[in-house]
Structure 1
Amino acid sequence: MRTELAGKAVLVTGGASGIGLACAEAFRAEGARVGVIDRQDGLGVVRADVTDEPALAAAVDTVARRFGGLDAVVGCAGISGPVGTPMSATTAADVARVLAVNVTGQFLLVKHALPWLADGGAVVLLGSDSAFTAAPGMVPYCASKGAVVAMTRALAVEVPGIRVNCVCPSVVDTPMARADLGAVLDDPAFPVQAAGDVARQVLFLASPASRPVNGQALLADFGMSARSAFPA
């Protein structure tokens, strides 16, 4: 498949590690010009926290001015929050922090990138299969990813001329996932994606190849959510 991304200007948040880094590398491999916003240092990184609106707005402007505009924006900055923590031990501050990064951070990214996006441009946000299925001890994270899916649909009808979609992968082998899940990721019975798998999904949604696709959540979970509870 030809992505037609060569020469395109792409902004990736959370692009210094994990899925964001894989996305940045994949876009570069297609010949795109890539700018990265992250709290960590890295190749071509403009440092900013997505929860700090003035800093994020300035970082978006820095990248967009460098390229003379933007063709695609990819929001990969995110946190898992408390994992395996029962609701009784989850604080309001825990919930607020997860929502601030995973939801408000995505909103602010699109808000400040929008003036720079070319007509026909694309936004791809990072959701999760946790928007559709749940595990105990992950209420803040599941709520945040459900909000990303709803926001994706809302933005798709709010913003004329710009396509907005999100990817919703199951567990991905990243530093964040390993910190949360540890050796479980190495169990061959436990289906795990590589960050590069998600990056290829993002490339498709950011490219002209997906021109009719708008307001959609691409759920990639090895078919786990399709399984019936009916005993077979």
Structure 2
Amino acid sequence: MNKAIITGGAGLIGTGICRLLIDAGWTVASFDMKDTPQDLQDQGVTHVFCDVGDEASVAGAFAELGWDRLDLLVNNAGIAGPVNGPIETLSLEDWRRVTDSHLTAAFLMVRAAVPLMREGANIINMASTRAFMSEPQTEAYAASKGGLVALTHALAVSLGPRIRVNAIAPGWIAGDDDLRPQDHSQHPVGRVGQAQDIAQAVLYLTGAGFMTGQVLTLDGGMTRKMIYAP
């Protein structure tokens, strides 16, 4: 049975990934500082407490899990809020808090995971369309996601052909609460993205044997849309 570790497995996208992989017959572990939803644990998802940006915590989480093989690592964890305020008042501590949660965390997880990975294993990094386009005052988040894009192609070259490494760049992914008609209609596909959209892409990438070092953008077409003030 294939084995997967999902970081940030307790969040919106993470739970969607865990749920689809479990349904597809995978053995799944969620590394998160928040509790994995009980219904997922009841279905067999193993919850492991882990601060993925902390070296000792990552090492302890792998030791606690105790697996001797890993087929898939999804680096999905990270601080979600992209706005950091004016760059001239952004503290080094807050900059590092964001970049550690995304970029440093991916490095630490990959370093620990690679010795467990065999021929045909996959690493998937969760980037963002914010790696390619920005709103004001989002420097730490954008830099983290841009770094994940570069880390993806660097790892693909270093770890291939044994391990394939790709990234997913989600756009707006949300639950069903408090969304307006215009939130959906501004997307060329006619709706805001859902966690299952990302989960399906993860499952696709595990079988896309000729794809490595790539970024799969899932944003409902927004990065292909010219937006001008009316």
TM-score tier after normalising by the smaller chain length: 0.7 to 0.9
Cα distance in 2 between the residues matched to 1:184 and 1:151: 36
Question: How far apart, in 2, do the equivalents of 1:201 and 1:185 lie?
Answer: 25
- The answer to whether the 8 Å contact 1:152/1:216 transfers is yes
Match of 1:60 in 2: 62
The aligned residue for residue 172 of structure 1 is 173
State the Cα distance separating 1:184 from its structure 2 match: 6.8
Match of 1:4 in 2: none
1:9 corresponds to: 3
Looking at structure 2, the residues matched to 152 and 185 of structure 1 have their Cα atoms a distance apart, in angstroms, of: 35
The aligned residue for residue 16 of structure 2 is: 22
After superposition, give the CA deviation of every residue in 1:189-212 in whole Å (9 maximum; x if it has no partner): 34421111111111111x2x2011
> For 2:4, what is the secondary structure of its paired residue?
strand
Instruction: After the TM superposition, list the runs of 4 or more consecutive aligned residues in structure 1 that deviate by more than 4 angstroms.
Output: 182-186, 228-231
User: Which position in structure 2 is the counterpart of 1:3?
Assistant: none
Question: Which residue type is aligned with residue 199 of structure 1?
Answer: A
Question: Superposition RMSD on alpha carbons, in Å?
Answer: 2.4
Are positions 1:37 and 2:34 aligned together? no
TM-score, normalization: structure 2?
0.86
SS of equivalent to 1:72: strand
Structure 2 CA distance for aligned equivalents of residues 131 and 174 of structure 1: 22
The question of whether the paired residues in 2 share the 8 Å contact of 1:13 and 1:76 is answered with yes
| Distance (Å, rounded) in 2 between the aligned partners of 1:52 and 1:21 | 22
Structure 2 match to 1:100: 100
Structure 1 residue 61: Cα displacement: 3.5
Tell me the percent identity: 33
Residue number in structure 2 paired with 1:126: 126
Q: Distance in 2 between matches of 1:81 and 1:229?
A: 23
Preserved CA contact (<8 Å) 2:75 2:109? yes
Change (3 A) 1:183 1:11: same
Kept in 2, the 8 Å contact 1:82–1:90? The answer is: no
Q: Once the 2 structures are TM-superposed, how far is the Cα of residue 119 of structure 1 from its aligned partner? A: 1.4
- Whether the 8 Å contact between 2:84 and 2:90 is mirrored in structure 1 is no
- The alpha-carbon distance between structure 1 residues 171 and 84, as it changes in their structure 2 partners (threshold 3 A), is farther
Stretch moving more, 16-25 or 183-192? 183-192
Q: Give the Cα–Cα distance (whole angstroms) in 2 for the partners of residues 186 and 139 of structure 1.
A: 27
Q: Distance in 2 between matches of 1:217 and 1:82?
A: 20
Counterparts of 2:89 and 2:127 in 1: how far apart (Å)?
25
Aligned-pair CA distance for 1:92: 2.1
Question: 1:1-232 to 2 correspondence within 5 Å?
Answer: 7-42=1-36, 43=41, 44-63=46-65, 65-66=66-67, 68-81=68-81, 83=83, 85-160=85-160, 161-173=162-174, 187-191=183-187, 192-205=192-205, 207=206, 209-228=207-226
Separation in 1, partners of 2:135, 2:183:
18
Maintained 8 Å contact 2:71/2:121: yes
Displacement after TM superposition at 1:224 (Å): 2.0
Amino acid at match of 1:116: L
Q: Secondary structure at the match of 1:140?
A: helix
